[in-house]
Structure 1
């Protein structure tokens, strides 16, 4: 993996490739302006297409399956959700040396919220709870398992390996004993033993859009599917301050075991992300540090 590259096997993508793909497969859109959209995302490149669309292309092979998942399920989920979600307007195919499927979506207005800079944290907490509750209430046949949302024990080895990696990066200042204690507490919580529920499964700040401090849209559904509802509690620690965190929990009626699993999942994701992205993706690394501070600060 070359210096500054997030993942091995990333396919090079530039404006010219996107223009050629559009001209070949969507000639009615050829001639619209194409401009790379800066994003802290880790799996896809995004390009504005004119004023009203966005092209989203996987950077790595592992993101290719997310494309068909979104194309299949987003039209069925959209009318059941209280916030806007991406609308697929074109399904692209491999071509021009680009090896994976890709999509064109309607552009959704809004800005990503930033932890520590929320205008209406309690109201946003209520909006997020409403979205999560709406996802959970969906019943659609043939739902796929979520990318995240399985038993917490599946994350044990990778979480402990990340803690050990962080021991070797003293400049990050992570209390690895405290992190281990929180993780082991989460592992002791009973697992979800009811039917799995629909999840977005990647409610990072970069996948949320707000206007005036209120939630307007949720994007990037590549991880969606059914699983443990604790998986969609991550905004409690990756975005919301303590008081709004309680608003979020109360609105969803989360029991202690599910809350503990949710905190453990969120911490695990941050612990794994920090050593992986600390030199290649400042947004992801910064949010990982925020999560670790928030979770360990509750002890």
Structure 2
């Protein structure tokens, strides 16, 4: 286009004059669209990030709320598993050594005073460990066993040659009755327990006495009974052509906390045992 000096090119271009308002209008619309998109993205971000967080606060309880809701109340007769223990005294033969074994129950219920169907205890044999400090003290053994030796004893005990926990992980005591015996003066209350003890797939009837002491809403029952391994199809461990081994007879101690009927407690509480080590029977207490 040839434009002369002094001429107004814009005034001479009608199409450009009409285009300018449209360009201004389009620019305004673009800004408006950008503002809408920005607001929309902000809304999406708020929904994607903010709303679930608020929802999580409504559905997930705080630590304090969880602590108030989580504990399960024990029913009367239930065993408090965290504090209850099974201890076993294993005597020696030849040049062997005496051992103390510590283990736990998998579950337990004792209806103290019942003359029939008085409960059931399940011994988790997979938890049994040889020569812990607590076990040796409980069964009246002096001194300690080094960890390497204790681990070897534990491995032999749990192996297929002895307890065979891969096939028989649980031993049971199906309790027929737990009845109080006549009290002698100020002596602690004694109970007689009768039932069927199953170990290594073999069942035998046992009966023994246990002492009951009220402790912080629980009845602490402590008793013991003896068995012969061979009665349950177990061959006592030996080595060096029998020069080193363990005795056929074992003494099994139960130190159990049974939920009393009057005072509630929770399974996740600190438990009935105080910070001090409970009194343990000495060698004279073993039978």
Shorter-chain TM range is under 0.3
When normalised by structure 1's length, the TM-score is 0.24
Considering fraction of residues, name the structure with more helix.
Answer: 1
When normalised by structure 2's length, the TM-score is 0.25
